[in-house]
Structure 1
Amino acid sequence: MGRLDGKIAIITGAARGQGEQHVRLFVAEGAKVVFGDVLDDLGEKVAADLGDNAIYLHHDVRSEDEWQRMVKEAESRFGKLDILVNNAGILQFGTLTHETTLDDYMRLIEINQVGPFLGMKTAIPALMRNRGGAIVNISSTNGFAGYGGTIAYTASKFAVRGMTKTAALEYGKAGIRINSIHPGGIDTDMTRPEGLGEMTAADQAAVYDMVSLARVGQPQEVAKLALFLASDESSYCTGAEFLIDGGMLAGTINPYARPTYD
């Protein structure tokens, strides 16, 4: 038996990377999934690979109409909705606050913050019709701490963390659990933008020195955490934030207090 047998899920930003891994793992664990993205060619390939267990729709998370379409598709095709994973997001970094244009700031806020709001707003009535369910909002370590050159991204991820807690308080008695996941450095296309070039060995060493486990995370690892929070195994978890960052936010690594290994 799968951990999501009989469950129906909506997953956003799922044509590639972390979102794609959510879709593949959820289907492998027994769920039927309606997933969306704006990268249609990639999304349709994922859906074709998964057959009748997954439906791909073009989905701009800034559009309330397209959100309504996603929920309608889940209910009309599969009869209900159990799970929402708000995964879609974009990353812009390297621009200082005074250099950030209002257009760039608002575009990121609309996708990363308004998108999850619209997702919850649209999915919650369907979850209430189903007498409960789970929402998993993908935030970031930037939802806990600032990082230079990411003013809009950090604002959006703090907002997701706060919205998660507020909605969890509002809908707990309706049987809806709402939690947030906060990944650190994960190896996806979003964290490897074109034009930045390959990291040098020195760059990699500097990054790894910030992470206790001394490596980047893999999207499959985040998907496993999302699976837990979407499943009945996390039945007493709501309004909580779950870090998956290799220990990056645990504190500062002292280079003079490291263990040695044979």
Structure 2
Amino acid sequence: MISPFSLEGKTVLVTGSSSGIGRGIAVECSKMGARIILNGRSMQRLEETMTLLSGSGHSIIEADLSNQSEIEKLVQSIPQIDGCVFCAGIPQVCPVKHIKRGELEDIFSVNTLAPIMMTSALAKRKKITKGASLVFIESISGVYVGTRGDVSYNASKAALNGFVKGAALEFASQGIRVNAVNPGLVPTNILHLTNSMFSEEHHADIMLNSYPLKRLGKPEDIAYGVIYLLSDASGWVTGTNLVIDGGYVLN
């Protein structure tokens, strides 16, 4: 009997799979039998991810999803997909009084507009199979909690969450499910951008005082939740948020 959590025979596109959570998702999905289409902006790092994948039939498409023409080229070049995980994202540490329009547009371009426009392009070109699953990596920030100095990031994820709810309703008649995963703090390369403000000691303090399970997240923690939402095991789940945060939002 095939496990309902198996991804055998499914083709899954993972954006932002050159490192961090996206890489972890790609690796774990391949272990469950999926054929993975890797996407990111660095061919070198995507090739590194490729070496970690299990199975065969995987491919790489280098593309910057903040560029609409590159979104169109990516969508044209792929076969029909059974799943898509929108993981590409950037942080931005900036207090309210220092927000600049250009920087705000930059973070919304990657975190919000790119996955929305890509979903639209996939739908227009009929690249999403009936019964497919779309999974958006959001955050607890902006959806469940707010964080000081992180307001632009919070807003970009909150806006994406609104899109997920509406898209779930629109795609339901086609049997296409749309859900979000909301991680807590997962130390990855992306956090190096904020290390000038937050030291390892700061992260350790957060871990002990803010996370009931007394540890920060790992990419595979998020990947396992994504596998559930991509698989047939979640066949009656759409428009929901799966919080994976070690209990942070309980505090």
Same topology, TM > 0.5: yes
Report how far residue 83 of structure 1 moved.
Answer: 0.6
Q: In structure 1, what is the equivalent of residue 15 of structure 2? A: 12
Report how far residue 138 of structure 1 moved.
Answer: 0.4
- Secondary structure in structure 1 of the residue aligned to 2:223: helix
Q: In structure 2, what is the equivalent of residue 174 of structure 1? A: 174
1:57 equivalent in alignment to 2:61: yes
Distance of aligned partners of 1:29 and 1:127 in 2 relative to their CA distance in 1, 3 Å threshold: farther
Q: Equivalent of 1:66, from 63, 70, 75?
A: 70
Distance of aligned partners of 1:196 and 1:147 in 2 relative to their CA distance in 1, 3 Å threshold: closer
Q: In structure 2, what is the equivalent of residue 255 of structure 1? A: none
**Are the counterparts in 2 of residues 33 and 54 from structure 1 also a CA contact under 8 Å?**
yes
Matches within 5 A, 1:121-140: 121-125=120-124, 130-140=129-139
Equivalent residue letter for 1:56:
I
- Secondary structure in structure 2 of the residue aligned to 1:53: coil
Q: In structure 1, what is the equivalent of residue 31 of structure 2? A: 28
Give the whole-Å Cα distance in 1 for the aligned partners of 2:114 and 2:247. 28
Q: Deviations over 1:1-56 (max 9, x none)?
A: 67111111111010011101111111111111112111221112222454743211
Give the whole-Å Cα distance in 2 for the aligned partners of 1:216 and 1:49. 23
Distance of aligned partners of 1:31 and 1:171 in 2 relative to their CA distance in 1, 3 Å threshold: same
Q: Aligned-pair RMSD on alpha carbons?
A: 1.9
TM-score, normalized by length of structure 1?
0.87
TM-score, normalized by length of structure 2?
0.90
- Secondary structure in structure 2 of the residue aligned to 1:22: helix
* 166-175 vs 48-57, greater mean Cα deviation: 48-57
- Rg larger for: 1
Distance of aligned partners of 1:25 and 1:126 in 2 relative to their CA distance in 1, 3 Å threshold: farther
Distance of aligned partners of 1:203 and 1:103 in 2 relative to their CA distance in 1, 3 Å threshold: same
Q: In structure 2, what is the equivalent of residue 183 of structure 1? A: 183
**Which consecutive residues of structure 2, in runs of 5 or more, have no partner in the other structure?**
none
- Secondary structure in structure 1 of the residue aligned to 2:81: coil
Distance of aligned partners of 1:100 and 1:132 in 2 relative to their CA distance in 1, 3 Å threshold: same
**Are the counterparts in 1 of residues 75 and 127 from structure 2 also a CA contact under 8 Å?**
no
- Secondary structure in structure 2 of the residue aligned to 1:36: strand
Matches within 5 A, 1:90-239: 90-93=90-93, 95-125=94-124, 130-142=129-141, 143-193=143-193, 194-196=195-197, 198-200=199-201, 204-239=204-239
Give the whole-Å Cα distance in 1 for the aligned partners of 2:98 and 2:187. 27
**Which consecutive residues of structure 1, in runs of 5 or more, have no partner in the other structure?**
252-262
**Are the counterparts in 2 of residues 34 and 70 from structure 1 also a CA contact under 8 Å?**
no
Q: Deviations over 1:235-257 (max 9, x none)?
A: 01000011001111112xxxxxx
**Are the counterparts in 2 of residues 127 and 176 from structure 1 also a CA contact under 8 Å?**
no
**Are the counterparts in 2 of residues 38 and 59 from structure 1 also a CA contact under 8 Å?**
yes
Q: Deviations over 1:126-181 (max 9, x none)?
A: 56762231000000011222111011100011011111000001110111000000
Equivalent residue letter for 2:65:
V
Q: Compare relative contact order (CA 8 Å, sep 6+) and give the higher one, 1 or 2.
A: 2
Q: In structure 2, what is the equivalent of residue 38 of structure 1? A: 41
**Are the counterparts in 1 of residues 85 and 135 from structure 2 also a CA contact under 8 Å?**
yes
Give the whole-Å Cα distance in 2 for the aligned partners of 1:129 and 1:150. 34
1:47 equivalent in alignment to 2:46: no
Equivalent residue letter for 2:233:
E
Report how far residue 97 of structure 1 moved.
Answer: 0.8
Identity %: 25
* 31-40 vs 175-184, greater mean Cα deviation: 31-40
